[in-house]
């Protein structure tokens, strides 16, 4: 049985495609800028953050991209700190009570624990906490969670992650509760506080999946189908007051929520206003000025730009208003071994030695926004990061070693190849492609560039019959674990011939598939991380791809904002912890 189809998964998972900074000289890593307390207006330090007195005010979220349809069935998000987390509670969530690596751990939300697995991790049982209520005061029951999941299968409500369709018994054929579809028998609710999931195969990562908004409870008698997104029934600290198709949203307090029944969300502001459709440079300008309502604003999806960076070294007050974080994401050079000469491992190794990672990082904006990668797994413990560098190129590449290996491969006089790249995404775009081209030229490898527009490029690299031999790509995990990072890229049972394929090497190795299955059976996060790290280290020896960099997120916040930090789960502000008073 294959892992879930990823045909509709974006390359950068929950975060979507992001824009890194244009190339700029003299950028330096601002590693010390992560802050838990913003400066007050005028640059004076504000009082220390106190959760007991943080209530009040209006938080404004300034965004480039809208929320889209605000229906838990259609949202592709999970337990980070995005807007949906303020309205929809789920069985589990990420640990909102801490920043840094520990914030990437999964913890209970509506449930009493992260789940009780059967011995082979094919059955997961959850019990709900007492006292849970919707915004109208009615109790939240296990049947509401079951119904919320079932409606996510309906073709009328597309867009959510595909895992449940593949993991739940009967999920592949189920079409949701509408049009006489009935219920899904593999989800059982023996009483109002118990819910049981029966899976097609062992899945030790099920607690991570249970952070997805598809696990938010939906009262059946309040379901209005495709119109539900206009006013979904809240189980979280805020309810929807108004919603302009996800472009402009206003949230106010849910009177039936309290910290006594939710220890993960502080929910400090009285009101949250989400405004999208803004140019990214405008977002940074408004946050820098921090005037009026913008003093109590944060960036929803926009990193700092070159204009902000230019001021940071000379403006200490502004520097205190930048939060730095990471998201599990890797950009890389991909090979299709079915295309010559990339079927030759020595050719792949030669390119690995020749690559100039510093030039690539400069191409996307410098060390302030990207750090070099020699492993496919991101360098975070939750993923099982195991350091390795089998083809050490140093910061600037090793063309001499590359030429030596190329000669061993049968190309003593060099070779000519083509690199395919995107035209609309900086991470996989012309600047990075040119940096790779110039580095490989030093090793006697002539690289021609083959550009394609976004949609055409995605279709080309995700369809095995069209896949080029050498191209730029990237991957971000749906949750901080090695499973959703390695399996879609290396599991042979996930090769999709009709499109939506991410196994770029088209690798179908029974031993690798078996190792993936073995890791999926593990329910202890530490053991699971170790298994994924070992697999990544073994795969790295084959040079199926060349890791280039991991992005770094830096985002501004207003002068009256406190406790702003970027989550390592998904690289965005945790809105559930922010205070504006």
Domains of the chain listed by start with CATH number: 71-236 (3.40.190.10), 330-551 (3.10.105.10)
- Residue closest to 128 by CA, chosen among 166, 165, 90: 90
d(CA 297, CA 197): 40
Q: Is-contact 146 164, C-beta < 8 A?
A: no
d(CA 323, CA 550): 17
Q: Is 62 helix (H, G, I), strand (E, B) or coil?
A: strand
Beta bridge mates, 126: 195
d(CA 87, CA 70): 10
Q: Is-contact 513 350, C-beta < 8 A?
A: no
Q: 44, exposed or middle or buried, with CB in 10 Å at 0-12, 13-18, 19+? A: exposed
| Cβ count within 10 A of residue 387 | 10
What is the token pair recorded at 303?
Answer: 């990193």
| Cβ count within 10 A of residue 571 | 25
- Could you give phi then psi for residue 382, rounded to 5 degrees? -60, -30
DSSP labels, 376-419:
SS-SSGGGT-----SS--TTT--HHHHHHHHHHTT-TT-EEEEE
DSSP labels, 263-295:
SS-----SEEEEE----HHHHHHHHHHT-GGGG
Can you say whether the dihedral through the CA atoms of 239, 58, 55, 69 is positive or negative?
positive
Ordered per-residue pLDDT tens for the chain, 581 residues: 333 333 333 333 333 444 444 433 333 333 333 333 333 333 333 457 898 899 999 999 999 988 888 999 999 876 566 899 999 999 999 999 988 788 889 999 999 999 999 999 999 999 999 999 999 999 999 999 999 999 999 999 998 888 999 999 999 999 999 988 899 999 999 999 999 999 999 999 999 999 999 999 999 999 999 999 999 999 999 999 999 988 999 999 999 999 999 999 999 999 999 999 999 999 999 999 999 999 999 999 899 988 898 898 899 999 999 999 888 899 999 999 999 999 999 999 999 999 999 999 999 989 988 999 999 999 999 999 999 999 999 999 999 999 999 999 999 999 999 999 999 888 999 999 999 999 999 999 999 999 999 889 999 999 999 999 999 999 998 899 999 999 999 999 999 998 889 999 999 999 999 999 999 999 999 999 999 999 999 999 999 999 999 999 999 999 999 999 888 888 889 999 999 97
What is the token pair recorded at 72?
Answer: 């838990």
In this structure, the chain runs to a length of: 581
Q: Is-contact 486 532, C-beta < 8 A?
A: yes
Q: Say which residues have a Cβ less than 8 Å from residue 227's Cβ, sequence separation at least 6.
A: none
d(CA 419, CA 423): 13
DSSP labels, 443-503:
TTEEEEEEEE-HHHHHHHHTSTTT--SEEEEEEE-SSSSSHHHHHHHH-GGG--TTS----
d(CA 383, CA 403): 34
- How many C-alpha atoms does 202 have within 13 Å on its Cβ side? 16
Which tens digits make up the pLDDT trace of 506-551?
999 999 999 999 999 999 999 999 999 999 999 999 999 999 999 9
pTM of the full predicted structure?
0.88
Can you say whether the dihedral through the CA atoms of 418, 422, 426, 431 is positive or negative?
positive
d(CA 474, CA 550): 10
d(CA 405, CA 411): 9
- Residue whose structure tokens are 């009328």: 156
The DSSP H or E segment spanning 525 is helix 525-540
């Amino acid at each position: 049985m294959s892992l879930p189809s990823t045909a509709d998964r974006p390359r950068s998972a929950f975060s979507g495609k992001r824009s890194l900074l244009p190339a700029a000289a003299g950028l330096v890593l601002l590693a010390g800028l992560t802050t838990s307390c913003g400066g007050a207006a005028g640059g004076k330090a504000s009082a220390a953050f106190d959760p007991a007195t943080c209530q009040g005010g209006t938080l404004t979220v300034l965004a480039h991209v809208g929320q889209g349809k605000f229906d838990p069935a259609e949202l592709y998000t999970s337990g980070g700190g995005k807007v949906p987390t303020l309205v929809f509670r789920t069985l589990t969530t990420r640990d909102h009570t801490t920043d840094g690596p520990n914030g990437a751990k999964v913890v209970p939300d509506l449930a009493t624990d992260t789940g009780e697995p059967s011995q082979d991790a094919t059955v997961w049982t959850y019990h709900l906490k007492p006292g849970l209520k919707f915004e109208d005061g009615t109790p939240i029951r296990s049947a509401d969670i079951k119904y919320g999941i079932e409606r996510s299968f309906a073709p009328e409500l597309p867009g959510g992650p595909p895992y449940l369709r593949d993991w739940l018994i009967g999920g592949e054929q189920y079409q949701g509760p509408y049009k006489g579809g009935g219920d899904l028998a593999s989800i059982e609710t023996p009483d109002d506080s118990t819910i049981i999931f029966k899976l097609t195969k062992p899945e030790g990562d099920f607690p991570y999946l249970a952070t997805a908004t598809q696990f938010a409870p939906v009262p059946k008698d309040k379901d209005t189908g495709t119109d539900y997104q206009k006013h979904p029934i809240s189980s979280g600290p805020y309810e929807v007051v108004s919603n302009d198709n996800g472009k402009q949203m206003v949230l106010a307090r849910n009177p039936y929520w309290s910290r006594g029944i939710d220890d993960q969300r502080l929910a400090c502001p009285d009101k949250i206003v989400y405004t999208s459709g803004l140019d990214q440079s405008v977002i940074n300008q408004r946050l820098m000025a921090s005037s009026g309502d913008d003093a109590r604003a944060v960036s929803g999806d926009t990193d700092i730009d070159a204009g902000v960076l230019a001021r940071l070294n000379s403006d200490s007050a502004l520097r205190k208003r930048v939060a730095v974080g990471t998201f599990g994401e890797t950009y890389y050079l991909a090979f299709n071994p079915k295309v010559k000469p990339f079927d030759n491992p020595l050719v792949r190794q030669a390119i690995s030695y020749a690559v100039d990672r510093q030039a690539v990082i400069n191409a996307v904006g410098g060390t302030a926004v990207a750090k070099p990668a020699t492993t496919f797994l991101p360098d975070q413990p939750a993923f099982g990061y195991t350091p390795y560098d089998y083809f050490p190129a140093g910061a600037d590449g090793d063309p001499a070693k590359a030429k030596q290996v190329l000669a061993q491969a049968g190309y003593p006089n060099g070779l000519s190849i083509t690199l395919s790249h995107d035209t609309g995404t900086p991470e996989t775009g012309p600047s990075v492609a040119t940096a790779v081209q110039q580095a490989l030229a030093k090793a006697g490898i002539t690289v021609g560039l083959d550009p394609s527009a976004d949609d055409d490029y995605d279709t080309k690299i995700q369809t095995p019959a069209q896949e080029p031999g050498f191209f730029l790509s990237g991957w971000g995990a749906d949750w901080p674990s090695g499973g959703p990072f390695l399996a879609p890229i290396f599991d042979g049972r996930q090769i999709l011939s009709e499109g939506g394929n991410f196994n770029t090497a088209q690798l179908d190795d029974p031993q690798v598939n078996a190792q993936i299955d073995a890791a999926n059976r593990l329910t202890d996060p530490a053991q699971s991380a170790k298994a994924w790290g070992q697999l990544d280290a073994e795969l790295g020896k084959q040079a199926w791809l060349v890791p280039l960099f991991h992005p770094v997120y830096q985002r501004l916040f207003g002068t009256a904002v406190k406790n702003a930090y970027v989550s390592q789960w998904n690289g965005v502000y945790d809105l559930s912890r922010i205070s504006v008073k």
